[in-house]
Amino acid sequence: MPGTKIINAIVLRSVAYRDFDRMLTLFSREEGSISACARGAHKPSSPLSAAATQFCTGEYVLEEKNGRYYVKTCMLDGAFYPLREDPRALSYAAALTQICEEIVQAGDPNPELYDMLLRALTYLSFDKEHDATNVVFPFLMRTMVLSGHGVMLTRCASCGGRIVDARFDDEAGGVICARHASRNLPVITGSDMQSMTDAVRGEYRPSEGDVKRLCRILGIFVRTRLERDFTALTFAENME
């Protein structure tokens, strides 16, 4: 249909616009980032109320008028309501959407990141066996690879040689030898190296063991490489 497109999308951000509308930042599997207005979605009786809520996912029908997209209808696939019952999981979920919003560009589909975000939101909502950081840590590791800022693990990020007495340097881009450290840097053990390596191997899944410390270290790395302070991530870390 002319002026109409159908996309599978996740709501990364939803903000009030005018009296009853909401402006949505959608992460579409087919076209990357898309901004769309959900008219009347702020009204409790609106059929678009749920579809205009952060984290919701589904098939969105968008109508284009004068260069702007409007949500015509939406067939919801999921809303991840359990996130609202766990402030910590909710904060980490918001952090993941902020990071995706920073990385995903309009007209540049990233289906691997899209599918991974869906799985991460599912784990954060329904997985009671793993801590939230076990979900977030491998997500961040893989997301940085997809963004072109993967953590250097196989050799020293400073000298390029074999890593001796490892430290993590967010500015250098990964693990370095202790002798190259010009400031107090986190020690990286053999177990840490294995956890980071496992996080980017095979299919995306929660990490095993306690990775809270590594998740915080990686959070610093993400902020440094993407040059942005993600407020939701900071809030989640402060809840630890």
Q: What is the mean pLDDT of the chain?
A: 95
Please tell me the class of the 4-78 domain: mainly beta
CA distance 26 to 195: 32
What does the pLDDT read at residue 56? 96
Record the tokens describing residue 181, joined without a space: 């450290």
For residue 179, the 8-state DSSP code is: G
- Please state the pTM of the whole predicted model: 0.94
- pLDDT of 3 reads 82
At 211, give phi and psi (nearest 5°). Answer: -120, 20
* pLDDT score recorded for residue 42: 85
| Per-residue pLDDT tens over the stretch 19-78 | 899 999 999 999 999 999 999 998 888 899 999 999 999 999 999 998 899 999 999 999
Nearest CA to 172 among 190, 186, 192, 191? 186
Per-residue confidence (pLDDT) for residue 2, from 0 to 100: 54
Which residues in the chain land under pLDDT 50?
A: 1
Domain ranges of the chain: 4-78, 83-238
Specify the CATH class of 83-238 in words.
mainly alpha
Tell me how crowded residue 233 is: count the other CB atoms within 10 A of its CB: 25
Q: Residue 38's closest CA among 4, 61, 55, 66? A: 61
Residues 6+ apart with CB under 8 A from 128: none
Nearest partner of 204 among 104, 130, 101, 109, judged by Cα: 130
